[in-house]
Each structure stands twice: as C-alpha cells, then as structure tokens.
Chains A and B, each alone.
Chain A
Amino acid sequence: MPAVPEKLQMQHLAWRAGFGASPAIIEDWTHKKRRQVISKILAGPEKDVQTPLKVRDVSDLPDRNKMMSPEEKRELNKMNRQGVKDLNLQWMNEMVQSEHPLREKMALFWHGHFACRTQNVLFNQQLLQVIRENALGNFGELLTAVSKSPAMLQFLNNQQNVKAHPNENFAREVMELFTMGRGHYSETDIKEAARSFTGWAYEGDGSFVFREKRHDNGQKTVLGKSGNFNGDDVLKILLEQKETARYITTKIYRFFVSENLNEANVNKLADKFYSSGYDIGALMQYLFNADWFYDASLIGTRIKSPVELLVGLRRAVPVEFEREEVMLSFQQVLGQVLFYPPNVAGWPGGRNWIDSSSLMYRMQLPKMILYEKEFNITPKEITPEMGMGSYKVTMELNESVKKQYAKKIKGVINWNALLKDYEKVPREKLADAIAGSLLQANKNVSKQVLENYADASSRENYIKTVAIAVMSTPEYQLC
C-alpha cells in the first residue's frame, strides 16, 4: 500500500480531531513533529478562555409552578423553546470559531453519547457546560456530573425514583448506554442499582439534591458487590468494570476512526483508557499518535454528520447569515438537530445519515448558501418532546416554521481567507489544489470535471466556483 502523503495525514487529523483546517495550518503542521502538533491540538490555545455558552439566566424565566395559568405555561414553554434554539446556534458558532476545535468535537461526541431531551433551556445549558468542561477530562467525573444534572435526572425519570416506588429507567440507561452496554449485567443488577439511585433529585433551580428520606438505605448487591450503596457507589462500581472502558472506547473508535471495528486496536485503546483511570485526553492523545490511525484504509471513509458538514463548510468559507436560524432548518432536513437526539441511544451515524433526499440536500447545500439560492424544503411537522401536561400548540409552531422556508438564504460571505490560501498557486494547478485540500477521498472529482463548472472570467471567480463545485460532490460528504 502506498504511503499516505504527509499533507493528507495532517488533513485527516484536522478533520477527525476537529472540523478541518485551512491549507495554511496544514502546511504549518507538516513541518512540525506529529507528536507536538497533537499535544497542541489537545491543549488548545495558550490563553484558552473556556467561556461557558450562556443564552439565558435563571432570572430570565419565570419559575414554573402549579399556580400558572395555561397561558403563562404556554408563554414559558415558548421562552424555553426559543432559548434552546439560541443555545443551538451559539454552540454551532462556537464550533465554527473555536480555537480549540477538538474540545467542541469531543463535546459533540458526548452530546450524542449522553443523549438527553429536555425542553428546559437552563437544564440544557447546564448539561452542555458539563460536557464541554469535561470533554477531555476524566470520564468518571464527566459521568458523575452528567448523572447529577437536572436534565438527565428529569429525562430518565429519577425524580420519580423513590424508596417506595423505584423507577428503573435511570439505572437501566446508565448501565446500558452510558457505561457497560448490553449483555454484561442482569435485570437484578438494574433493580439493585435503581434502589441505590433513589433520592437523587434536583431542586426547582436545577441544583442537585440528595433526598435522604426517599433513599433506600438497605443492603444492595450490584455486579457481585454488596453494601449499603448510594448512587455514587454504583457509578464507582460501574467504572471498575473493564467492560465500561471497552464500551466507551468502542464508541470513540466508531466516531473518530471508523465504523468498521478493528478489535486489536480497540482493545489497545480500552486497556490504555482503563489503566489511566479513564483519562479522556490521554486516550485521544494515544489514538491520534498511533501509526494505524493514519492508515490509508481509514482516510476519507467517515461520513460527516450534518453538524460536522455544516461547521466544516463554514470554517472553510466564513458566512454571516442574515438569519442565523437557517442553520436549524439545515440541521432539520439533514437529520441532526442539536439537543433533539432521536432517542436515548443518540444519533446512529454512519450510513444512517444518507438517503436519496438527504444526499441531494447535502450536495445542494454549498450552492444554496454560497450562491444565496432559495431554500424550498420543508422539514417534517415539528413535534419536539413536550411531556405530559404541557400545552404547547404544535400547530401554530408548525405554521410559523413553514413560513420561514421558501426564502432565500442571505448572508455575508467572506471569501478572503480562501482566496489567500491559494494566492501562490499557479492557475493550472488551482483546481487540483482546491480539491486536494477540501477532499479526503476522491473518486471522480477531476480537474476536467471542475473546469466545466468553473467561472473562468477572473482568477477570483475561478477559485470561488471551483471551491463550490468541490463542496457539492459526494466526496465532500466524507472525511
């Protein structure tokens, strides 16, 4: 097998550990030691201001209480929905602009792993912060913080998990989806773990509270260990299981490396993860430094998720949209709306992203955005989770959303960076250079094809139109 060119390797790293990087950065990386580049990617910029993403304060929203009239509740729900939209857009922007893209990429992974739906914007905001803060930290700490977040406690019904009536949902999902995966515990383990989590709850303001009176203080046996366990004890026991390290690294492998598992390499990652005491940063460092990570068979084989596609596109060509909400519409028609995972298992990913319509939209997307074409696609009726007893008027929402479509996408497109990237490339090599830096796989995108769709009236127009053409190919869906 021919050796993978250094430039392609660095582009591979930039895409897998982030959302792609400009030719200038790639060029810089190829002159450095790989190990140093990776350390820098993990550490982020020197002055890494880890600003929490915040769209609402507690004081911005009225407290939900039983005395509220249906109109007041409706108003509150509306405020929450708008808040979640704002949070979505702010996070998208962070992914586009962040100087520490690996953290956002990792957070995106955890956002799917710890899949959760809540209509409360403050709960969403808090959980997102937990995930971003701990994205490259310690998995045990991340797991604990997520498990104590009001969003997750609410979503998995632990408010209802009390000594007199244990609710197993939380314990089941923690074991099945967050730590060990199916097949490594019994139904009895779940029941016993659920008893241990009794009393884990949150206050009206979202702060975690342990309600001792509702906690089952008896003896429990979980995965062969016995004691008067509480929730923290159970999480500790779950982390002691090697299966947990294996389950998490398998998912990380699928997300960062390939859908096709290489057992030997997954085992190496799992061992490393377990022996490090679940250090996520160390795991990623080991992964990105492994020679097999740059194997030709892995490069350009990952289907970008809709969010990765959109962020990558905006990183390549910065656009300031007149109506930023258009990002939400794109997420919707392409099948990945942040904060609305399809179910507790998160987005399935891989080939599940692709069907006839979604592929056509993906390939039309660069033209729609960069030529300001009309966007005439209506997503499915929107019925986000509203929970029992809420009185959201879905019909009104749907009507207003429908009106948003069939509008032109307007924005200020900043081509400067892209034009500068290629200023030293001679005209006859431009098409290949642009394709070479925007694509990680190439089947049929040739200079000859691109020439046919390029505007050759000026060098500037040529670069722009070739870039748009390259981004409108099946190959651009891959990284």
Chain B
Amino acid sequence: MLILNRRSFLQVGSLASASMMMPKFLKAFEKDNLAPPGNKVLVVVQLSGGNDGLNTVIPYRNDIYYRSRPTLGIQREQALSLTDEIGIHPALQGLKGLYDEGSLAIMNNVGYPNPDRSHFRSMDIWQSASASSENWTDGWIGRFLDAQCKGCDKPVQALEIDDTLSLAMKGDLQKGLAFKDPDKLQAAANDRMFKELLGKENSGHPIEDDHAPVDYLYKTMGATMSSAGYIKNQFKAYKTKELFPATDLGKNMQTIARLIMSDISTKVYYVSHGAFDTHVNQLASQQTQLKRLDEAITALTRELKNNNRFQDVVIVTFSEFGRRVAQNASGGTDHGTANNMFLIGGGLKKQGLLNDGPDLVNLDEGDLQHTVDFKSVYATLLKNWLGADDAAILKKQYEHLSFV
C-alpha cells in the first residue's frame, strides 16, 4: 500500500484536485496530522484600543448605568434585547441573530488580578497570558504551537491576518505566520535569490539543527517560502460565495473563510480590529467599529453555515480592557478593567449569557471587578476545543469553563 508521509501529502494535497481524488480511507488516515473537514478551528478577534464593554453588552435595567452615563448610556428601546436585563449594541444585528439561533455566548466580567490600564501593557498581558506582575516574551498561541507543532515542516497551524506578527503568536520554538494577502506573501517569499540561496535546503530537507543563528535564519526563510506557496494554493482552492464587507476586517475575514474551507491544517486564526480607544465622542466611533465587526463576523458565519462548517469553528473576541463605568467630560470613556467576550459558533455547549452581568455597585475605584480570569477562557478553548495541554501552555492550571 502506498503510504504518503506528511510532507509528500502536503505537496500533493496542496492541489485541490489531488486532494479531492484522494480515497476516503486515506483522508481518515490523515486525520490526526492534517486538517480534514471536522478540524476544530479557533478564530481570535482582537478589539484593539479597549472596547467599551458596558455599551456593547448593555445592562439596560440598571439605574447606575444611566446615572454614570447621562449622554453615553444606550436607551433600552435602542438596544437589541437579549433578556429582560441585558441588550446588545444596536449595531450588532447579526450577532443578535446568532444569539437568537443559539450560536452566541457572552462571558461577562472577564479580566485579571491587578489590572493594568496601559494599552500596551494590558495587551501584552492578554497576549502572553502572564500575570500582571510578569513580563513574558512569548504568547499563548505561540506556546500552543510549541506544544502542537514539534516537527511541523510548515508553521501554518496558527496564522495572523496582518502585516506584522503579534506577541500572542510568538512561541519559544515556533512562531505563527502573518500575512494580509496570500498572493503578496507568495510574491515576497518567492524571490529568486532567496530560492537560490536556500539551494539544497529547499529540496525537501528542511534544516533540522537550528542551533547556530545562521541556520535558524535559513530555517525560518525556508519555512516561510514553503508555507507561502502552500497557503496560496490552499487559498486558491476555494472562493467564498457570501458577500463580505469591503472593510479591512471584512477582507481579512474573507481570507480566513477561504482558508478554513480549504484543506489547510490551520487551527488558529488571529485578526485585529479597531481603534476602540474612545476617549472622545464615543457614540459615533464605537457605532462604526461595532458595525464593521458585526458585518464581518456575520459574513463569515454565513459562509461557514452554507458549507456545513459552522459547528467546527469558534470565534472569540477580546479587548485589552473595558472602560470606566462613568463617562468623561468629552463624551467618551477612559481606560477601565473587566470586559465581556463574545463566543460564536455552531458547536457551543452553552449559549446565551454565561454568567451574571457586571456588578455596578461594588466597583474598585470606579472600575468593574472581574469575576472570570481570561486565562480560564483560554484554558477552556485550548483543552476542550483544540484538545491541547492547557496547563503546559498557560504554565498553570486554570479552571475549565463549560461553554465548549
């Protein structure tokens, strides 16, 4: 019997036709290594700048909310009603639909002890999953790659749809790959001189020993070049049918949709959206940002549903912090602490509101107190969704939640 090893499979399998011609038993055989349909995928959406959680998931029965936000508070009749207590921002119509059909969950009051209100510091804490007193130089998805991808010849298990790579995607041994446009990535990596330099190493013998820095650089170059070709071929294999918005996030989501529908072995996609830093005139700017978020996510979920893949994907949103409960004097809000996260997918075990909304009475110097550590959300996604060793990746055992 012909047994394809992983590498030769990838070379053959990167052509859609070859993949389709493959006998079913072989696909099943590949299941553990590759990404056949049924592969669980995580899409992380970073809302940069600190999204105002209280105007995203709105406690419209709470007087303190309206007292703290005389001009910023969103009226009950404008909010999209989820329960008697809680509604969501009027721009989130698609998400409201997902809630109604049982494909959306909301985790309230997510944060971490000793919150830091600096953008860059708090973002590093979320991306590295460190305690606020520690500075880690690797990220949680990067460490997932370290654990997942020993011996992988192409670092495509985690992809960031952006020009540069976030800390979250950097492991100690492995790093994710960042690109906005697979064609441009291929064009940059496909440089003739790079190929020639790579020479022997390119002929199917990736550099194993990267102890010397020069070998490490060649290994990274080789991996980038082979991944670029592989990604481009996968990307070409499927064209989306839904209309994706022409925004940055919309285009990036479309790229993610095309890749998810291919045979690529990617488990985690990472994408950023925003400027959510709404110190002034928040109403208009948050409306714009949330609408873009809603439209892009809605397009992705439709595409997934049409292809019967929605149950295999979880989309999770986070922001480096929420904002203060009280509005400021400029029609905006300042940096705060705990925030909510959206979890979206056809395979959620729990839907709707996963816990109580924010406690606006017991504040810590005007800020919300967290009740769920974000690292518990990560641990749950790693363990229950991606089947990974969360305690090793997060360097600590966190409580597992039950949404997946």
Q: How large is the interface on A (under 10, 10 to 19, 20 to 34, 35 or more residues)?
A: 35 or more
B42: Cβ under 8 A from any A Cβ: no
Q: Which residue of A lies closest to B174 (CB)?
A: A355
Q: Which residue of A lies closest to B180 (CB)?
A: A378
B32: Cβ under 8 A from any A Cβ: no
Q: How large is the interface on B (under 10, 10 to 19, 20 to 34, 35 or more residues)?
A: 35 or more
Q: How far is the CB of A243 from chain B (nearest CB, A)?
A: 20
In the complex, A363→B124 CA distance in Å?
27
Q: How far is the CB of B338 from chain A (nearest CB, A)?
A: 17
A395: Cβ under 8 A from any B Cβ: yes
Q: How far is the CB of A183 from chain B (nearest CB, A)?
A: 14
| A302 contact from B118, B191, B213, Cβ within 8 A | B213
In the complex, A449→B197 CA distance in Å?
7
B285 near A359: Cβ-Cβ < 8 Å: no
Interface residues of A in 406-461 (CB under 8 A from B): 441, 443-445, 449, 452-453
In the complex, A344→B137 CA distance in Å?
12
Cβ contacts under 8 Å, B189 to chain A? 360
A2: Cβ under 8 A from any B Cβ: no
Q: Which residue of B lies closest to A397 (CB)?
A: B275
In the complex, A333→B49 CA distance in Å?
19
B124 near A301: Cβ-Cβ < 8 Å: no
Cβ contacts under 8 Å, B118 to chain A? 385, 387
Q: How far is the CB of A181 from chain B (nearest CB, A)?
A: 13
B354: Cβ under 8 A from any A Cβ: no
B170: Cβ under 8 A from any A Cβ: yes
Interface residues of B in 33-74 (CB under 8 A from A): 48-49
Cβ contacts under 8 Å, B167 to chain A? 342
Scan B121-152; emit 1 where CB is below 8 A from any A CB, else 0: 10110000000000101000000000000000
Q: How far is the CB of B175 from chain A (nearest CB, A)?
A: 4
Q: How far is the CB of A113 from chain B (nearest CB, A)?
A: 14
Q: With contacts A70-B280, A384-B120 known, is A394 near B224, CB below 8 A? A: no
B123, B223, B274 interface centre (most CB from chain A within 10 Å): B274
Q: With contacts A355-B175, A389-B334 known, is A444 near B218, CB below 8 A? A: yes
Cβ contacts under 8 Å, A344 to chain B? 135
B337: Cβ under 8 A from any A Cβ: no
In the complex, A444→B332 CA distance in Å?
56
Cβ contacts under 8 Å, B164 to chain A? 333, 335, 357-358, 377, 379-380
In the complex, A405→B196 CA distance in Å?
30
B218 near A443: Cβ-Cβ < 8 Å: yes
In the complex, A474→B117 CA distance in Å?
39
Q: How far is the CB of B135 from chain A (nearest CB, A)?
A: 4
In the complex, A77→B318 CA distance in Å?
28
B279 near A355: Cβ-Cβ < 8 Å: no
A357 near B48: Cβ-Cβ < 8 Å: no
Scan B173-193; emit 1 where CB is below 8 A from any A CB, else 0: 001111100000000110111
A474 near B165: Cβ-Cβ < 8 Å: no
B135 near A478: Cβ-Cβ < 8 Å: no
Scan B188-231; emit 1 where CB is below 8 A from any A CB, else 0: 11011110111100000000000011111110110110010000
Cβ contacts under 8 Å, B285 to chain A? 395
Interface residues of B in 269-285 (CB under 8 A from A): 272, 274-275, 277, 279-280, 285
A449 near B196: Cβ-Cβ < 8 Å: yes
B330: Cβ under 8 A from any A Cβ: yes
A358 near B165: Cβ-Cβ < 8 Å: yes
B236: Cβ under 8 A from any A Cβ: no
Cβ contacts under 8 Å, A398 to chain B? 275
Interface residues of A in 333-356 (CB under 8 A from B): 333, 335, 340, 342-345, 348, 351-352, 354-356
In the complex, A343→B167 CA distance in Å?
12
In the complex, A342→B139 CA distance in Å?
13
Q: With contacts A385-B119, A452-B193 known, is A356 near B223, CB below 8 A? A: yes
Q: Which residue of A lies closest to B48 (CB)?
A: A381
A357 near B178: Cβ-Cβ < 8 Å: yes
B118, B121, B167, B217 interface centre (most CB from chain A within 10 Å): B217
In the complex, A445→B218 CA distance in Å?
12
Q: With contacts A356-B220, A379-B163, A388-B335 known, is A343 near B121, CB below 8 A? A: yes
In the complex, A340→B120 CA distance in Å?
10
B21: Cβ under 8 A from any A Cβ: no
B275 near A473: Cβ-Cβ < 8 Å: no
Scan A453-479; emit 1 where CB is below 8 A from any B CB, else 0: 100000000000000010011110110
Cβ contacts under 8 Å, A441 to chain B? 213-214
Q: Which residue of B lies closest to A387 (CB)?
A: B118
Q: How far is the CB of B217 from chain A (nearest CB, A)?
A: 4
A342 near B178: Cβ-Cβ < 8 Å: no
Cβ contacts under 8 Å, A303 to chain B? 213, 217
Q: With contacts A333-B164, A394-B277 known, is A359 near B119, CB below 8 A? A: no
Q: Which residue of A lies closest to B224 (CB)?
A: A356
In the complex, A386→B121 CA distance in Å?
11
B277 near A395: Cβ-Cβ < 8 Å: yes
A351 near B216: Cβ-Cβ < 8 Å: yes
Q: How far is the CB of B176 from chain A (nearest CB, A)?
A: 8
B197 near A356: Cβ-Cβ < 8 Å: no
B361: Cβ under 8 A from any A Cβ: no
Known: A355-B176, A380-B272. 4 other contacts (CB 8 A): A358-B165, A387-B118, A392-B279, A393-B279
Chain A interfacial positions (CB closer than 8 Å to B): 70, 117, 300-303, 333, 335, 340, 342-345, 348, 351-352, 354-360, 363-364, 377-381, 383-395, 398, 441, 443-445, 449, 452-453, 469, 472-475, 477-478
Chain B interfacial positions (CB closer than 8 Å to A): 48-49, 117-121, 123-124, 135, 137, 155, 162-167, 169-170, 175-179, 188-189, 191-194, 196-199, 212-218, 220-221, 223-224, 227, 272, 274-275, 277, 279-280, 285, 329-330, 332, 334-335
